Chains A and B, each alone.
Chain A
Amino acid sequence: MMGYFSQTVIDALSWGGLYALAALGIGLLYGVLRVINFAHGDFITVGAFSLIVPSTQATAQLALGALPAPLLIIGTLLVVTLVALLSDLLVFRPLRGATPSTIMIASFALGYVIQNIVLLLYSSRPKAVDLWPELNEAFGFAGLRIPQLQIWTVTVAALLMVALTVFLKASSYGIEMRAASEDLRMARLLGVRANRVIALAVALSGALAGAVSLIIATQSGVVSYQMGGPVMLFAFIGTIIGGMGSLVGSALGGFAVGFSSVILQAYLPDDIRPFRDAILFALVILILVIRPQGLILVKTMRERV
Chain B
Amino acid sequence: MSDPVQKPDTPYNFAYLDEQTKRMIRRAILKAVAIPGYQVPFASREMPMPYGWGTGGVQVTAAVIGPDDVLKVIDQGADDTTNAVSIRAFFAKTARVATTTRTEAATIIQTRHRVPEMPLTESQILVYQVPIPEPLRFLEPRETETRVMHALQEYGLMHVKLYEDIARHGHIATTYAYPVKVEGRYVMDPSPIPKFDNPKLTNSPALQLFGAGREKRIYALPPFTKVESLDFEDHPFEVQRFCEPCGLCGATGVYLDEVILDDKGGRMFVCSDSDYCEGRREEGHRGHLAGALAGAAEAGE
Same assembly: no
